[in-house]
Amino acid sequence: MLDLKFVRENIEEVKENIKNRFMNVDVDLVLSLYEKKNELLQEVEAIRKQRNENAAKMKSKLTNEERQALIEEGKGLKDTIAEKEATLNEVSQKLDDEASRIPNMAHPDAPVGKEDKDNLQISQWGEVPKFNFKPKDHVQLGQDLDIIDFDTATKVTGPKFYYLKNQAVFLELALIRYTMDKLQAKGFTPVITPDLAKEEILQGIGFNPRGAESNIYTVEDTGMCLVGTAEITLGGYLSKTMVDANDLPIKFAGLSHCFRKEAGAAGQYSKGLYRVHQFTKVEMFVFCRPEESDAMHEKLREIEEEIFQGLEIPYRVVDTCTGDLGAPAYRKYDLEAWMPGRGESGDWGEVTSTSNCTDYQSRRLGIKYKDKETKEFLHMLNGTAVATSRAIIAVMENFQQEDGSILIPKQLQPYTGFDRIAKK
Catalytic positions, written as ranges: 260, 275, 350, 353, 390
Residue of 6, 13, 22, 55 interacting with RNA (CB under 7 A)? 55
Task: Check binding of 245 to RNA (CB under 7 A).
Answer: no
Residue number, 109 or 220, with CB nearest to RNA: 220
Task: Check binding of 59 to RNA (CB under 7 A).
Answer: yes
CA quadruple 269, 336, 356, 122: dihedral, nearest 10: -130
Q: In the stretch 313-352, what mask flags binding to RNA with x, by CB under 7 A?
A: ----------------------------------------
Cis amide leading into 209 (omega within 30): no
Task: Check binding of 128 to RNA (CB under 7 A).
Answer: no
Q: Give the chain's count of helices (H) and strands (E).
A: 13, 18
Q: Which stretch binds RNA (CB under 7 A): 51-59, 137-145, 166-174, 200-208?
A: 51-59
Task: Check binding of 13 to RNA (CB under 7 A).
Answer: no
Task: Check binding of 375 to RNA (CB under 7 A).
Answer: yes
Task: Check binding of 241 to RNA (CB under 7 A).
Answer: no
Spell out the residues 6+ positions from residue 171 whose beta carbon is closer than 8 angstroms to its own. 147, 164, 392, 395, 408, 412, 416, 421
Nearest approach in angstroms of CB 138 to RNA is: 33
Nearest approach in angstroms of CB 31 to RNA is: 12
Nearest approach in angstroms of CB 222 to RNA is: 11
Give the whole-angstrom CA distance, residue 142 versus residue 136: 10
Instruction: Give the residue from 259, 203, 194, 192 showing the smallest Cα distance to 226.
Output: 259
Nearest approach in angstroms of CB 18 to RNA is: 22
Give the whole-angstrom CA distance, residue 263 versus residue 257: 18
Residue of 19, 22, 28, 38 interacting with RNA (CB under 7 A)? 38
Spell out the residues 6+ positions from residue 391 whose beta carbon is closer than 8 angstroms to its own. 175, 311, 313, 337, 351
Task: Check binding of 198 to RNA (CB under 7 A).
Answer: no
Task: Return the number of other C-beta atoms located less than 10 Å from residue 245's C-beta.
Answer: 16
Nearest approach in angstroms of CB 414 to RNA is: 30
Task: Report CA-CA distances (Å) from 288 to 94, 148, 270, 356, 359.
Answer: 31, 40, 35, 11, 10
Nearest approach in angstroms of CB 19 to RNA is: 26
Angle (CA) 164 170 172, round 5°: 65
Task: Check binding of 19 to RNA (CB under 7 A).
Answer: no
Task: Check binding of 69 to RNA (CB under 7 A).
Answer: no
Q: Which stretch binds RNA (CB under 7 A): 70-78, 225-233, 266-274, 339-347?
A: 70-78
Q: What is the DSSP string of 155-188?
A: HHT-TT--EE-THHHHHHHHHHHHHHHHHHHTTP
Q: Which stretch binds RNA (CB under 7 A): 52-60, 116-124, 145-153, 271-279?
A: 52-60
Give the whole-angstrom CA distance, residue 342 versus residue 344: 7
User: Contact 316/373 with Cβ under 8 angstroms?
Assistant: no
Residues that bind RNA (CB under 7 A): 4-5, 38, 41-42, 45-46, 48-49, 51-56, 58-59, 70-71, 74-75, 77-78, 368, 375
